[in-house]
Amino acid sequence: MSTSRYDRALKWMLGIVGLFLVLLVLSLFRRSPAEPWQTGDGPRIGVVKIEGLIIDSERIVRQLDRFHRRKDIDAILVRINSPGGTVAASQEIYGKLRRLRDEGAQPVIASLGAVAASGGYYVAVAADTIMASPGTTTGSIGVILDYPVAAELMDKLGLQVEVIKSGSLKDAGSPFRPPTDSDRHSFQRVIDDLHAQFTEVIAAERDLSLEQVRELATGEVFTGRQALELGLVDILGGFEDAITLTGLLTGDTRRPVVVRPAERRRISLWDYLLGDRSHTTWFPQLLPQYLMR
């Protein structure tokens, strides 16, 4: 390699290393906490946002718990913009909201944004009141499992994957072989049970019969206005309407104070490379996942 080419290659390597070090240093800083913002002098409403795929429930549950323990928070408003997510994460957030609602110390209101479907709707049914815009996309009551099958591609490439397993279903869902009838039967049993859990919760929370919910639980989506007619939501309105309603439910007619979670979060190197799209929102999709979406 000539001296000039060597120098250019060295500069490229030093540049890449320098960029990596800058990002690494930035990842050590923490974001400033979100400051509460006020819209009035009345009851204080803690607003928790659920946005995007519901994969990890920990942050949402933590925010709800903090608002619940704060004596200066009079009510909790959950703003949902989500097409759904994993079953367990949706159930955990639902369970937390249900416990807060049952304690009765603070009204719990769900405000449905552009999309609050499947797992997003599952979360909402734990609230005292569900408000949706007329054009909100909601419903999609059901559970799905999908995964890629690349067995033919592997054959064309002449690649093989050696599998040593303890049982015939241990590698069910592997993309490296076609699914068997036993695989499909096993997956369907799980899907059916998760679907039954979903419909049972909606029937209980929305005061509908199981037969009524099963008729709706085909995966079909509804507008907010259709959902109101079907008994899936309680009232129509946007986010500001939900704030007003939440304030009134506290018994205070003054203009509410809206409080956002004041939570610090470490910015990781991964965040800088991929923006705010955390690896937890997409990496699990490489593996078979039971999803409410």
Say which CATH number the domain at 69 has: 3.90.226.10
Write out pLDDT tens, residues 49-96: 999 999 989 999 999 999 999 999 999 999 999 999 999 999 999 999
Residue 135 is predicted with a pLDDT of 96
In a domain, 180, yes or no: no
DSSP assigned state of 280? G
Q: Which domain holds residue 230?
A: 44-140+219-292
Number of structural domains, the chain?
Answer: 1
Does 255 map to a domain? yes
In a domain, 51, yes or no: yes
Per-residue pLDDT tens over the stretch 93-122: 999 999 999 998 899 999 999 999 999 999
275-292 confidence digits (pLDDT tens): 444 333 333 444 455 556
In the structure encoding, which two tokens stand for residue 286, read together?
């490489």
How does DSSP assign 246-273, residue by residue? Answer: HHHHTT--SPPEEE------BPPHHHHH
Strand order in the sheet with 289-292: 85-86, 289-292, 144-146
In angstroms, the CA 187 to CA 198 distance is 17
- Residue 225 covered by a domain: yes
Q: Is residue 194 part of a domain?
A: no
Q: Which residue has the higher pLDDT, 177 or 1?
A: 177
29-43: average pLDDT: 59
Tens of pLDDT, residue by residue over 188-210, are 999 999 999 999 999 999 999 99
Task: For residue 37, give the 3-state DSSP assignment.
Answer: coil
How distant, in Å, are the alpha carbons of 110, 135, 272 from that of 238? 11, 10, 33
Please state the pTM of the whole predicted model: 0.78
Active site residues: 118, 170
C-alpha span between 228 and 263 (Å, rounded): 34
**Is residue 268 situated within a structural domain?**
yes
